[in-house]
Each structure stands twice: as C-alpha cells, then as structure tokens.
C-alpha cells in the first residue's frame, strides 16, 4: 500500500501512513469527544473532551502500529525480509518480501499481532486498576483497553486476510500438506465471513437503525474483496510456477528512440501502433524510460517539432526491468508504472518485450484455469520458446508444437499439392472464371501469365524467360 506520509523507522523498518489514516483518526477523535466520553463522564468542558479524545486516538493508532510491528519482528526472526509498515483506514498493513516457508512460521507470524493487541488490552486494564486519577482519563484508558481486546478477537476470526484466516491457513497447510488447498480454503472462508458481516450490518441498520451497521458492512465488503483478490493472487502464484516472464510478455513491442523528434515519432510509430505506452531506448538500445500516448496528447502541437522523446518520457525504475528468464511470479509484485505498463523486458543490450495489465490479466486467468484443470498442463520448457524474436523481426516458418519442423498443408503429401476435389485423374478441372478450359490469370500474375506455385520450387521446372514473354492465346 502506498505511503502518503512517512513516519520514520522503527527497529529499522520503514513506517508510514496512508492518507485515510487521517480520516480514521478524526473519526475516532470525534466519536470519543462527542459521544463516548460525555456519556461516561458527563459535565466536563468541551475542550477537555477533545484534548483527551485526541490523545486517546493517537495512542490507539500507536497500538495499531504495535500490532503490525509484532508481525514484522517475528517475521524477521523467521528469516523473512520486512519491506514496510503502513497504517490506513481499517488498521495496518505489513509488507513482506517473501512468504512463510513452513506452517509453523506462518502460525507464529500471524498470531503475533493479535497477541500484541491482547497484551495492550491487559496493560491498559492493569493501569487503571490502582490508578485514582481524573475520571475522564480513566474512561479514555478503559476505552483503549476495550478496543485493543476487541481488535485481538476480531483479527482472530477465521478468514483471509485477517490474522485468524492465516492461522487457519497454517493449520490446514500442516494437516493436508497442500499449501494450494489451504490457500483456497482460507480465501473461501474470508469471503463467507465478509458476507456474514455485511448481512449482520444490514440487519442492524434496517431493524435497529444503528449507524454502526454501516461500519460493519464496510468491513465485510473489504473482507470479501480482499479474500477474493488474495485467492486469485495465490492461485496465480501456483499456476505461474515454472513459467518465465517470456511466457507472459508481449514480445517485440514498438519502441521509442530517445533521440527522435516527437513529430517524427508520432508519424512513424505512435499513429500506427496498437500500444498505449512505449519503452524508450538510448543509442545503445538500453531501456531508459517509457513514453505514453497520454503524455503525447497532453503536449501542445506547436512544441512537438522542438522536443525529443526523452523530454516527455518518464525514467524507468530498475525494479520495473525484468529479464525474459525471470520467474513469472515476479510480475505479481509489481504495480502499473505508466499507463498500462508494468515492466519492460530486456535482454542484455536491447528490449525484447513488455508486460502490460492486459498481459497480467490474461496470465492470471490462464493460471486459474491451470490450477483448476483436471489435467493441469506442464510448464513450458525452453524448447517451447526456442528463441526470442530477432531485431529484424524476420518471419519464421510455422512450426509443429511437438517436433519443431514445418508442417505441410492437410491436402499436401511430401510437399506436393494434392488434387482438388473437383479434379479427375490428377488433372485440374476448369475454374468458374476459366474460358474454353484455359485458366484465367490470377491476381498475383504479371503480364497475364500465371505465377509459379510453391510446388514449382519443390521439383517442378521453372518456366523459361521466353515462355513468360509469350502472349497467351485464347
């Protein structure tokens, strides 16, 4: 998830917040100041309510950070790299570079967050037991204890992407020894859980007129969407195992020479291409950036003849450059960079392909079909893709998928055209456009003389030059 606000590093882990964190902080603060605290401790000044409410909302966000930090620290101890922690509208997200290798690792990492929230809950309850202070502060601390306890319980509900769904996944993985089966079960459980919360929230809203039902419906919708997406991604990872980037990419895309004039590029490439985005290359053929049609259309026409491609292209981040032999699952960790482009595929020295959202969508659907097929196909071997398209894009003969040799047409034998159905004794019958039994000239003939067929090159004599020049008599 994108971090709009960088908060620094905790234990060496980058921590940030999505813009929606401000919204949830304001919502929590307003709820405390306008409802929870006045009902618990009436008769206090409005300013006091707001001061305590703001402080309590900040501490609550800190406890959310502690929940995610517990996941991160345990994951790092189990050998998984932690990329970042991001707070957002519905809690927090810890981004890992990799997955748990064993069911035990997944269980420990997943259970660490709810356990941390439970510890926070107990801590806040213990703080207020011997504390004889302002009733407003005690009420706020009690609320923090209650919310962290509810957070621990809710996160242990058995459905992806909640922590309880991952604990369920670890248990099923260990029981059946099949990670893919556990993936599907946890994702399905998450969708069922989400639909249940939506139904409960709707009943609260309709029957009891509780606006809290809207919040429950929002959480349920998020669980359904996230569980479905997670199921698709995990199925894609399984289906793409053994596949390479070359099996997913669009080969030999149109490219944009960085030194070319914008007007020239539009006339020679952009207006004739079906692409929305073009890899930009330097004189050596190395990919240096990307150029989108959107950027071209936004440029004033009077400036196009003065600018070169590099002036309006975007630099290409190194993590969006892949090798054709990279594992195809690497694509799943990328986001769109410019237009529908996800990655540029380069062999040393030149661009050989690119991966777009359409390529990924096709690959995901095919991966799901492979994982659910009764007889899943084997991953492609190197022989299935013997070489990448060459720079000159010269055509190659159609190849048989098993043997790699050119196949003859169905009606041919030994490379010699077989008689047509209307032929008798091997003698071609006159075509409809023929007159007096003499074939009419074909479109590709010159000077009214039929051009030699491909079979002429396979054993039939070529017509001599004077035969070509001799007029055809009717």
Cα 71 from Cα 106, distance rounded (Å): 10
Is residue 187 within 8 A of residue 180, CB to CB? The reply is no
Q: Which residues contact 178 (CB under 8 A, 6 or more apart)?
A: none
Residue 351 DSSP SS3: strand
Helices and strands, counts by H and E, the chain: 13, 14
Q: Output DSSP code: residue 385.
A: S
The closest of 130, 114, 79, 96 to 1, measured between CA atoms, is 96
Active-site residue numbers? Answer: 68
Q: Which residues contact 152 (CB under 8 A, 6 or more apart)?
A: 114, 115, 117, 118, 121
Buried-state track 157-176, b at ≥16 Cβ within 10 A, e below 16: bbbbbbbbbbbbbbbbbeee
Q: Which residues contact 407 (CB under 8 A, 6 or more apart)?
A: 398, 399, 400
Q: Which residues contact 112 (CB under 8 A, 6 or more apart)?
A: 70, 71, 73, 74
Tokens found for residue 122 = 């107990």
Tokens found for residue 259 = 């030194």
Q: Which residues contact 265 (CB under 8 A, 6 or more apart)?
A: 256, 257, 291, 309
Cα 450 from Cα 197, distance rounded (Å): 76
What is 8-48 written as a DSSP string? EEETTEEEEE-THHHHHHHHHHHHIIIIIHHHHSTT--HHH
Cα 171 from Cα 169, distance rounded (Å): 5
Cα 49 from Cα 140, distance rounded (Å): 10
């Amino acid at each position: 998830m994108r971090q709009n606000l960088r908060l620094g590093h905790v234990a060496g882990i980058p921590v940030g917040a999505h813009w929606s964190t401000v919204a949830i902080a304001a919502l929590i603060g307003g709820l405390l100041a306008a409802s929870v605290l006045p009902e618990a401790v009436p008769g206090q000044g409005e300013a006091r309510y707001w001061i305590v409410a703001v402080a309590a909302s900040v501490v609550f966000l800190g406890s959310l950070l502690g929940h995610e930090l517990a996941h991160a620290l345990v994951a790092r101890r189990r050998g998984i790299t932690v990329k970042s922690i991001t707070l957002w509208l519905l809690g927090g997200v810890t981004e890992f570079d990799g997955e748990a290798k064993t069911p035990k690792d997944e269980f420990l990492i997943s259970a660490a967050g709810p356990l941390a929230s439970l510890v926070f809950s107990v801590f806040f309850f213990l703080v207020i037991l011997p504390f004889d202070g302002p009733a407003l502060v005690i009420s706020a601390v009690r609320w923090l204890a209650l919310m962290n306890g509810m957070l621990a319980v809710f996160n242990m509900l058995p459905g992806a992407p909640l922590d309880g769904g991952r604990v369920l996944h670890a248990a099923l993985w260990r029981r059946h020894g099949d990670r893919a089966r556990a993936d599907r079960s946890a994702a399905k459980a998450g969708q069922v859980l989400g639909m249940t919360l939506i139904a409960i929230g709707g009943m609260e809203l309709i029957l009891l007129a509780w606006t809290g039902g809207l919040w429950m419906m929002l959480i349920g919708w998020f669980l359904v969407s996230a569980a479905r997406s997670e199921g698709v991604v995990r199925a894609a990872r399984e289906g793409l195992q053994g596949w390479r980037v070359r099996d997913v990419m669009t080969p030999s895309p149109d490219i944009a020479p960085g030194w070319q004039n914008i007007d020239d590029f539009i006339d020679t490439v952009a207006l004739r291409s079906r692409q929305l985005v073009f890899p930009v290359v330097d004189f050596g053929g190395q990919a240096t950036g990307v150029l989108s049609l959107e950027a071209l259309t936004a440029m004033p026409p009077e400036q196009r003849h003065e600018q070169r491609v590099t002036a309006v292209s975007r630099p290409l981040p190194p993590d969006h450059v892949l090798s054709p032999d990279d594992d195809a699952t690497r694509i799943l960790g990328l986001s769109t960079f410019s237009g529908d482009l996800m990655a540029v595929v380069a062999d040393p020295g030149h661009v050989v392909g690119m991966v777009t959202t359409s390529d990924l969508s096709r690959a995901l659907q095919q991966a799901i079909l492979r994982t659910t097929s009764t007889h899943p196909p084997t991953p492609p071997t190197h022989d299935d893709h013997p070489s990448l398209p060459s720079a000159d894009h010269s055509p190659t003969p159609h190849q048989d998928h098993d043997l790699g040799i050119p196949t003859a047409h169905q009606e041919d034998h030994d490379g010699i055209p077989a008689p047509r159905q209307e032929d008798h004794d091997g003698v071609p019958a006159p075509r409809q456009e023929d007159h007096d039994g003499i074939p009419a000239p074909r479109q590709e003939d010159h000077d009214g003389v039929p051009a030699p067929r491909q079979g002429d090159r396979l054993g039939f004599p070529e017509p001599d030059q004077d035969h070509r020049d001799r007029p055809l008599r009717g």
